[in-house]
Structure 1
Amino acid sequence: MLSTIREHADSWMIKAILWLIILAFVGTIFYSWGMGGASSSGGGVIATVQGEKIFQGEYERTFNNLVEFYRQQFKNQFSDEMIKKLDLKTQALDALIQKKLLLQEAAKQNLRISDAELISHIQNLQVFQSDKKFSEKAYRDYLQFQRVTPGEFEDNQRENLILNKLEKLFETSSKVSQSEILDAFKNEEEKAKLDYVRFNSDHFQVEKTFTEQEVNDFFQANKKQFEISPQIRVEYIKIEPKTYLAEIEPRDEDIEDYYQTKIVDFRVKKMYRASHILAHIKSSEIEGDASAEEKQKQAEEKAKTRATELLKKIRAGADFGEVAKKHSDDPGSGAQGGSLGEFPKGTMVSAFESALDKLKVGEISEPVLTPFGYHIIKLEDSKEERIKPLAEVREEVIQSLKQIKAQQRARRTAKRINQEAEKDGNLKSAAEKNQVQTTITGFFSRENHNLPEIGDQPQFFNTAFSLEENRVSQPIHTQEASFILKLAGKKEAYIPELAEVRKRVEETLVARVNEELTSSRFKELEQKLAKEKDLEKIIKGMDLNVRHTPFFSMEDSIPGIGNIKEIKEKTFAMNVGDTSSAKVKNRFYLFKRVGKEAAGEPDKEQSQKIIKRIKQEKNRQIFQEWVENLKGRAEILIDKTLL
């Protein structure tokens, strides 16, 4: 998943997610309010925007909400490494800075939200609906559950509405030219296919043992690179909610309230059980001198004819499962008589699911075209969307409530310890009064803080490096634990002797030489490919292999490669048979265009959709350019030591 995010970072989906985070995340009902109420102004000032302060507590809450947003999107695929690669710390601070700037500008524009507008907005929020009407009880229960006062929530929603109103000022009636429509349609519908080779910057490796003099010379020339950063160690307490789980028994009314508040989470999507027979479109098997487009059309007709003939056999009495076993081009399901098993709505491509929705149980479709080929689909069974009743999810609800209440208890304990320790700076004594033990870490730096007992907890380390002598930190709350810290020792930065960092120096030297060799080999392969036009031939004996993409458009992320703009631009500027190359970050690519599908012309409906989308993109671009201009003119001060 991490590689997907990294390689597809420029794709429309990822851009949309990031845009939503910046514009909507700071005001949305579900993510602005974490457990514990409104944004705290505790801690130091992490930034000022035109003189308005952003406090560390506010930043940490936003960062935690952002992490939770991604965690909910990617479920168990989300990792601590993803936090670093996506630079969520910077995203969180950017979101807060942008919110401050936009609210300041809205005030200058005298944009206001009346009480009537605010009430109407809140009353129409889906989360507060009961029998299609606003429920005062649902509203109060939700705020109580989130530990937010009505005033705090309504202020937050008012800000959100102001930001929406500000963005609407940039909605223009800009025209969309025919050439823009055609370019957009071409980007979506013209397809290319590649053969390619890729390898990392250390693929080719030097077989050499470096002399003592070579290692020493490299170290002397790059001493600053091996500087040991400032280090600290801290005394801390760690209170884990799981230690309280066994003591908690939720009340029946709490269980019912939680179920009603979270009822949307218990929705079960429509389920299908289906089988299919697939006839692949095999343009590579079409012989003759026809163009790639013509071969594709002939292959489609051939696949459709084959699927139609198989359907006739089934309609004449042949067993669907036996036909699938003998003739389906999907080896996985074919061996199972075509069975795809049970799957939820949204699993299959849209054309496949549209056909399923038109079938009754037991019926068989006409041949259906998808990017995979022609399908004959049989609907075996379906179950309509439903909401799981409380009886079915009662144990799940109880466990969730126990987690929440255990976390609340851990945080209350941390608060008591903090209040006691702030009196005299004695964290150990305050902890012992509450039956909690303190621990002292080893020395660690900002760059190297591998503490297994802490894990990857950005808040812990951010707070550690902002500690003052003889002062305890405010409680730090994460999903896993609550912490309080106190500085226990410091070491200043220094340049080490070679002996202290020899292994690191040798590894860096080897990596540098390998990168230089790989870069040199890449240039040689570029020249050979331009001359030979044969990927298999030029990589022979190099422990590399030629890979093949399916057809993709300029709007798509290239399967197996990623959404790399340079490679896509080069590909769509090439003719079939042309070759090219690219170096992107730490990877090298050699590729050859082997297929093309022309876009054709958009129909009226397609043109209207393109016009609408281009207008939205223009409005968004104008708005974002204006925001960037605001940032450029604003006085924004950031204390990076608190990040």
Structure 2
Amino acid sequence: MLQAIRDHAQGWIAWVIVGLIILTFALFGIDQYARGDKTTNVAEVNGDGITATDFLTLYNREKMRLQKQFGDMYDSIVKDEELRSQVLDALIESKLISQWNQDNNLLISDQQLAATIHAAAVFQEKGQFSEKLYEDILARNGLNVARFEYEQREFLAENQFRSLTLSSAFATASETDQLTKLQGQQRQINYLRIDQRPFLDKVNVSDDEIAAEYEKSKDAWLEPEKVQVQYVLLSQAELAQGVEVNDDILKGFYQDNQSLFTLPEKRHAKHILIRVDAETDEGEAKAQKTLAEVEDKLKKGESFEELAKIYSQDPGSASSGGDLGEFEQGMMVPAFDQAVFSMKVGEISQPVKTEFGYHLIKLVSIEPKKLPPFADVKEEVEMQYKKQQAEKLYFDKLEQLNTVAYEQPDNLQAVADAVGLKLQTAEAFGRQGGASAMASNPKFIQAAFSDEVLKNNLNSTAIELGNNQAVVIHLDKHFPERQKSLEEVSPQIKQELTRNKAIAEASELAKSLLPKVEGGENPESLMRDGIEWHPVGWVERNSQRLLPQMVSEVFKIKKPKENSTVWHSYQLPTGDTVLIELSGVKDVDVNEQQKASLQKAFTELSSNAELDARLKALISKAEIVRKPIYETIK
């Protein structure tokens, strides 16, 4: 039950809710509602269509969000077919909820709609709703007032449906008490471990057994389709290595681009930090009182540094008189940064409020920006020059690469020669990729198995891999899916069968030992090669002393009667068998904060399970047609 709480407190339900909020409230790109093919449906729910426009709006927005989140790793993490399926599922649920609302007269009044829109900060000026701002924002996003308010009404109605279900769930006192006891429970255990490895050299596997296993599991020994491709790689980093330089060129570049090498201004400051204990009037008043006391002493001529040692609540600088050392503009939080870089040397600031509290700042010195001598930055000048030249060369060659690859589509060697690049060969790999960096790149794999390369045997277009790298590929060899022979896979099958037999032998030995320890025989007396006795003691549910799977199993064992012991056999994921001795169970008090957290988690579990059940009931009764076009439409 406790694991179920962890599993259900997050997941696809939360994803759907977030997606629906994005669909209705985010204005960016919402003008797509007013464009595109309005007659094509990607699905029908009880006869009502879900349009391609609605699907693409949510799909494209979610894709953009994930691309921003994962960057260059997007293609390797996000599977397009799964994303499309999730988006369509969300829209189907949304449609079912809308239909239920209509059937049950669950409506959003004009007053509710107006209150929601008026409360949105994006439509407010100086804390008040602005009709003009409201209309301007909608107009800039290609949406009229009527359409926007229709969408908001739909969202609010759907949210009301969910809220009605979620808010109806609760955890009773007895349920919370029971859960608290289970969470705080501890169990006293020891265990006897029977290792399967000593049996690996004792069991025999015959050729007939290997052949029988091969016939039974032939599908497991299919070698998937593979390709071996040739490619030419254009890399800005490699081009930079070939850029020739001399001192005259570098000195000229240094003079023309001094801003690249100028060291920024630095300021040396000290501060006294007075923290605000809490966001309350009392905490603020206490901080202000301390500030006034420090400022008064500063006015009387007391040392800033000595006062910092006494009053400053910054543990990193108080002992050194508030010294922060030198720093450039932009390195501190904005309010602090702005104050320091507007002060004069020797000046002490007025109190500056930041997220850390109040600061009194003393500016010690200013180190003006300066241009280091050429000799001091020669290496950086060379690096910047080569980078700049290589970038220009990269885009020139990229254009040339695309042109030649198109003009000579069946000859990659000619492309390599024309652009001055080396023809390389990637190891054979399947649709899941290979071991090398190139063969594991999703864009490279996709191009290798494209119709253009695989079926038509043509050069690919230039594929940009990121970091100013591009590649053109051509099919070298194609290896269709094939059945591996018995001779090829016999060693692997033998190894697996040997391991399975060893595990079975260890399990049988454990069965023979179980009656002995249940009868009172000392477990330590049973120890020999491969059999180990492990005294453990009391463990809790989050114990790190045992494998998580074993901890979970320990808390499934039936409680022993008072002053007695229970033995339980369990096979570990490693294949070893353990005989667990459970000799005691006790409840440990859980503090009120933990209890409140458990009650909240249990309530969320119940409410999410109820919402999930209601949605599944709607889906089970509905006539839903998913049209294949949703898998490819763009």
TM-score, normalised via structure 2 length: 0.50
* Structure 1 equivalent of residue 176 of structure 2: 181
**Superposed displacement of residue 162, structure 1:** 9.0
Question: What amino acid maps onto 2:530 in structure 1?
Answer: M
| Residue 579 (str. 1) matches residue 567 (str. 2) | yes
| Residue 590 (str. 1) matches residue 585 (str. 2) | no
* Structure 2 equivalent of residue 495 of structure 1: 483
* Structure 1 equivalent of residue 548 of structure 2: 562
| Alignment partners' CA distance in 2, 1:424 and 1:68 | 36
| Alignment partners' CA distance in 2, 1:573 and 1:475 | 63
Q: How far does the alpha carbon of each residue in 1:435-489 deviate from its partner, in whole angstroms, 9 at most, with x for none?
A: 7766443333346x43323364456546655645237489576789766666554
Question: What amino acid maps onto 1:172 in structure 2?
Answer: S
For the residue of structure 2 that corresponds to 1:593, the secondary structure is strand
For the residue of structure 2 that corresponds to 1:192, the secondary structure is strand
**Superposed displacement of residue 224, structure 1:** 3.8
| Alignment partners' CA distance in 1, 2:493 and 2:612 | 44
Question: Where do residues 228-243 of structure 1 align in structure 2 (5 Å cutoff)?
Answer: 228-235=223-230
For the residue of structure 2 that corresponds to 1:570, the secondary structure is coil
* Structure 1 equivalent of residue 604 of structure 2: 616
Are the equivalent residues in 1 in contact too, given 2:560–2:583 (CA < 8 A)?
A: no
Structure 1 residue corresponding to 2:438, chosen from 454, 457, 462: 454
| Alignment partners' CA distance in 2, 1:626 and 1:419 | 58
* Structure 1 equivalent of residue 539 of structure 2: 551
For the residue of structure 2 that corresponds to 1:581, the secondary structure is strand
* Structure 2 equivalent of residue 170 of structure 1: 165
For the residue of structure 2 that corresponds to 1:615, the secondary structure is helix
Are the equivalent residues in 2 in contact too, given 1:193–1:552 (CA < 8 A)?
A: no
**Superposed displacement of residue 10, structure 1:** 4.8
Structure 1 residue corresponding to 2:430, chosen from 445, 456, 478: 445
In 2 relative to 1, CA 620–493 (structure 1 residues): closer, same or farther, beyond 3 Å?
Answer: same
* Structure 2 equivalent of residue 508 of structure 1: 496
**Superposed displacement of residue 185, structure 1:** 1.7
**Superposed displacement of residue 625, structure 1:** 2.9
For the residue of structure 1 that corresponds to 2:491, the secondary structure is helix
| Alignment partners' CA distance in 2, 1:479 and 1:160 | 41
| Alignment partners' CA distance in 2, 1:443 and 1:516 | 38
| Alignment partners' CA distance in 2, 1:238 and 1:549 | 61
Are the equivalent residues in 2 in contact too, given 1:60–1:459 (CA < 8 A)?
A: no
- Where in structure 1 are there 5+ consecutive unaligned residues? 1-7, 40-47, 73-79, 125-130, 134-148, 255-269, 271-379
Are the equivalent residues in 2 in contact too, given 1:467–1:486 (CA < 8 A)?
A: no
Question: Where do residues 153-232 of structure 1 align in structure 2 (5 Å cutoff)?
Answer: 167-196=162-191, 204-207=199-202, 215-216=210-211, 218-220=213-215, 222-232=217-227
For the residue of structure 1 that corresponds to 2:579, the secondary structure is strand
Are the equivalent residues in 2 in contact too, given 1:473–1:486 (CA < 8 A)?
A: no
In 2 relative to 1, CA 455–552 (structure 1 residues): closer, same or farther, beyond 3 Å?
Answer: farther
Are the equivalent residues in 1 in contact too, given 2:228–2:477 (CA < 8 A)?
A: yes
| Residue 101 (str. 1) matches residue 119 (str. 2) | no
Question: What amino acid maps onto 1:624 in structure 2?
Answer: D
**Superposed displacement of residue 419, structure 1:** 9.3
Question: What amino acid maps onto 2:585 in structure 1?
Answer: K
Question: What amino acid maps onto 2:438 in structure 1?
Answer: I
**Superposed displacement of residue 620, structure 1:** 1.1
In 2 relative to 1, CA 538–459 (structure 1 residues): closer, same or farther, beyond 3 Å?
Answer: farther
The alignment yields a C-alpha RMSD, in angstroms, of 6.7
TM-score, normalised via structure 1 length: 0.49
Question: Where do residues 10-409 of structure 1 align in structure 2 (5 Å cutoff)?
Answer: 10=3, 16=9, 18=11, 22-23=15-16, 61=63, 68=70, 95-105=86-96, 108=99, 109=101, 123=122, 167-196=162-191, 204-207=199-202, 215-216=210-211, 218-220=213-215, 222-235=217-230, 382-383=315-316, 392=331
| Alignment partners' CA distance in 2, 1:89 and 1:198 | 46
Question: What amino acid maps onto 1:567 in structure 2?
Answer: E
Are the equivalent residues in 2 in contact too, given 1:411–1:482 (CA < 8 A)?
A: no
Question: Alignment identity in percent?
Answer: 12
| Alignment partners' CA distance in 1, 2:177 and 2:86 | 35
In 2 relative to 1, CA 206–177 (structure 1 residues): closer, same or farther, beyond 3 Å?
Answer: same
For the residue of structure 1 that corresponds to 2:580, the secondary structure is strand
| Alignment partners' CA distance in 1, 2:5 and 2:402 | 46
| Alignment partners' CA distance in 1, 2:571 and 2:447 | 39
**Superposed displacement of residue 578, structure 1:** 2.0
Q: How far does the alpha carbon of each residue in 1:46-76 deviate from its partner, in whole angstroms, 9 at most, with x for none?
A: xx76577789x9699589659949x99xxxx
Q: How far does the alpha carbon of each residue in 1:158-194 deviate from its partner, in whole angstroms, 9 at most, with x for none?
A: 8999986664343233353333122222122222243
Tell me the matched-pair count: 451
* Structure 2 equivalent of residue 3 of structure 1: none
In 2 relative to 1, CA 221–25 (structure 1 residues): closer, same or farther, beyond 3 Å?
Answer: same
* Structure 2 equivalent of residue 281 of structure 1: none
In 2 relative to 1, CA 573–163 (structure 1 residues): closer, same or farther, beyond 3 Å?
Answer: farther
| Alignment partners' CA distance in 1, 2:610 and 2:395 | 45
For the residue of structure 2 that corresponds to 1:225, the secondary structure is helix
Are the equivalent residues in 2 in contact too, given 1:101–1:630 (CA < 8 A)?
A: no
| Alignment partners' CA distance in 2, 1:192 and 1:462 | 53
**Superposed displacement of residue 567, structure 1:** 1.1
**Superposed displacement of residue 221, structure 1:** 5.1
Question: What amino acid maps onto 1:552 in structure 2?
Answer: E
Question: What amino acid maps onto 2:487 in structure 1?
Answer: A
| Alignment partners' CA distance in 2, 1:410 and 1:161 | 52
